[in-house]
Amino acid sequence: MTAAELENYLHEHIPLSRAMGVSVKSVRPGRAVLWAPLQPNINHRETAFGGSMSALAILAAWSLLHSRLQDERRTARLVIQRNTMEYESPVSGEFLAIAVLDAEQSWQKFLRMLTLKGRARITVSALVEHAGQVAGRFSGEFVAIGGTGACPAVSDHG
């Protein structure tokens, strides 16, 4: 899945991503980078709203999993089960969320469980960056439910 295909998918299926002005900077098997401008995500202090920072991190993590499942021709209903977000500094301009898999072994285990049980969990981490500095840290546990058909993956919770 290309960055442009993923961005189109997000904007079509997760309208919040379009409202936030999200664009996909890059996507590859172990990493996804999403970008957002300040203006549609601004708070009363003229910095990025914490919910927008968290949403971008969730979208990046979900996108990493979604694109990897698509690339491997796997279909699953992908939802976030829980997450934590730590805010380290205010964001006064555009910001990035960089999602990574914690370990390649976790992906292989995730696929094995999805194949064997039709359900699997995986943890994805993301950094939110502004002006080259870490502004937030995200960790989320995602659940995939489903088989191996050709339908696109769909998320109830982004």
- Is residue 22 situated within a structural domain? yes
Q: What is the mean pLDDT of residues 62-73?
A: 94
pLDDT one-digit tens code per residue, 2-21: 999 999 999 999 999 999 99
**Is position 36 within any domain?**
yes
Is residue 157 included in any domain, yes or no?
no
Q: How many domains does the chain have?
A: 1
Query: Which pair of structure tokens corresponds to residue 57?
Result: 């991190």
Q: What is the pLDDT of residue 81?
A: 97
Rounded to whole angstroms, the Cα distance separating 11 from 45 reads: 27
Task: Give the residue numbers spanning the domain of 48.
Answer: 3-74+83-101+123-140
Whether 31 is covered by a domain: the verdict is: yes
Instruction: Kindly report, residue by residue over 14-67, the tens digit of the pLDDT.
Output: 999 999 999 999 999 889 999 999 999 999 999 999 999 999 999 999 999 999
Question: Using an 8 Å Cβ cutoff, are 82 and 109 in contact?
Answer: no
DSSP string, 67-105: HHHHHTT---EEEEEEEEEEE-S---S-EEEEEEES-HH
Question: 158 with 97: CB under 8 angstroms?
Answer: no
The reported pTM is 0.90
Distance CA 124, CA 4 (A): 22
pLDDT recorded at residue 23:
98
Which CATH number belongs to the domain containing residue 29 in this structure? 3.10.129.10
Q: Is residue 153 part of a domain?
A: no
> Tokens in use for 8?
């189109």
CB atoms within 10 A of CB 148: 13
Q: pLDDT by residue (tens digit) across 99-156?
A: 998 787 899 999 999 999 999 999 999 999 999 999 999 999 999 998 654 334 334 4
